[in-house]
Chains A and B, each alone.
Chain A
């Protein structure tokens, strides 16, 4: 990806980012959004509402939670709380890729705008590919991918609404399973620092375990608590390793 003489400007890198739409992760997400469209129809949402939700929220778990709470005629404050709890994870996700994405001169409003397109799939994409892009073109590259992914899926929700009602059970099951197994292999493959691998293992074990212990707050506790434990283990490891690597 990185050429010694690279004449691509921001537009070129934006287009390169757009090409990421033709990829396994983008395909997996599209099938998930076809599933969301069917779920929205079943739940009584109009086509316009399903489209607005996809474009406006752009986080599948938050969308499912909002539909669920609207179905139960929850008070808007209760819906807000349920959605916002599930979206807290966006904060560390966005914060962790900002230092890699921005330059010292990148205007804050642009970063705030681009952050809307960060969800799990594009976070994984950024973790894998940003390092191969010249720093001053990284925002353009990510915007190309993120905006294309969001708009394509918004379109898919609008078009497939009412067309795809249900997949056959085995296919639906396989499609559902695509998302987690894709995250498992791609996040492991893109992990450069050991701290990411430690947090990976702790998160996988802690998520389902804590779901039984502290339902509703499991992901939050697994993330903040598990992540902190992973960080401490890694810091200890680094302090042991550092003297040797300084010699080398």
Chain B
């Protein structure tokens, strides 16, 4: 890996600028949208679909230690957790704790 000032130049150009130009464009676009405009419905839909695509990929294709766990366990934890969340009044704490508990139980049970 390169060192010194060059690494910081890479962080500023390929990191900061590469990310913030999209934030700035988002501000400029959002600045022209009205709160009840038709275009905002579309932008909201695109933003939500993007975030959920990233989220689902974290579960289906995880990195790190979770990559070694079976896919069915991760899907079961997320799916059952979401069902319990929907069935118990949509409390976020429930939606987080139930799948994590299922996952930990499954990981411990499957441990060699």
User: Which residues of A pack against B, CB within 8 Å?
Assistant: 24, 28, 35, 43-46, 49, 52-53, 56-59, 61-63, 66, 69-71, 73, 76, 79-80, 83-84, 87-100, 102, 108, 111-112, 115-116, 118, 120, 123, 169-170, 172-174, 176-189, 191, 193, 195-196, 198-208, 210-211, 218-220, 222-224, 226-228, 230-231, 234-235
Query: Are A120 and B51 within 8 A (Cβ)?
Result: yes
User: Which of the residues B13, B50, B64 comes within 8 Å of A219, measured between beta carbons?
Assistant: B50
- With contacts A91-B26, A234-B45 known, is A66 near B15, CB below 8 A? yes
In the bound complex, residues from chain B placing their C-beta under 8 Å from that of A198 are: 45
Q: Known contacts A80-B18, A115-B20; can you find 5 more A-B pairs with CB under 8 A?
A: A28-B96, A43-B1, A173-B103, A188-B90, A203-B48
Q: In whole angstroms, what is the CA distance A83 to B41 when docked?
A: 27
In the bound complex, residues from chain A placing their C-beta under 8 Å from that of B103 are: 173-174, 177
Complex interface residues of chain B between 25 and 39 (CB less than 8 A to chain A): 25-27, 29-31, 33-35, 37-38
In the bound complex, residues from chain A placing their C-beta under 8 Å from that of B85 are: 185, 188
Q: Nearest Cβ in chain A — how far from B101, in angstroms?
A: 9
Q: Nearest Cβ in chain A — how far from B51, in angstroms?
A: 6
Q: Nearest Cβ in chain B — how far from A206, in angstroms?
A: 6
Query: Are A95 and B33 within 8 A (Cβ)?
Result: yes
User: What are 13 A-B pairs at a CB distance below 8 A?
Assistant: A62-B19, A84-B22, A89-B47, A92-B50, A118-B23, A173-B107, A177-B103, A181-B78, A184-B82, A187-B51, A196-B44, A203-B48, A223-B53
Query: Are A112 and B24 within 8 A (Cβ)?
Result: yes
In the bound complex, residues from chain B placing their C-beta under 8 Å from that of A115 are: 20, 23-24, 26-27
Query: Are A203 and B53 within 8 A (Cβ)?
Result: yes
Complex interface residues of chain B between 1 and 24 (CB less than 8 A to chain A): 1-2, 7-24
In the bound complex, residues from chain B placing their C-beta under 8 Å from that of A186 are: 92, 95
Query: Are B26 and A204 within 8 A (Cβ)?
Result: no
In the bound complex, residues from chain A placing their C-beta under 8 Å from that of B11 are: 49, 52-53, 56-57, 66
Q: In whole angstroms, what is the CA distance A173 to B64 when docked?
A: 8
Q: Nearest Cβ in chain B — how far from A191, in angstroms?
A: 8
Q: In whole angstroms, what is the CA distance A186 to B99 when docked?
A: 14
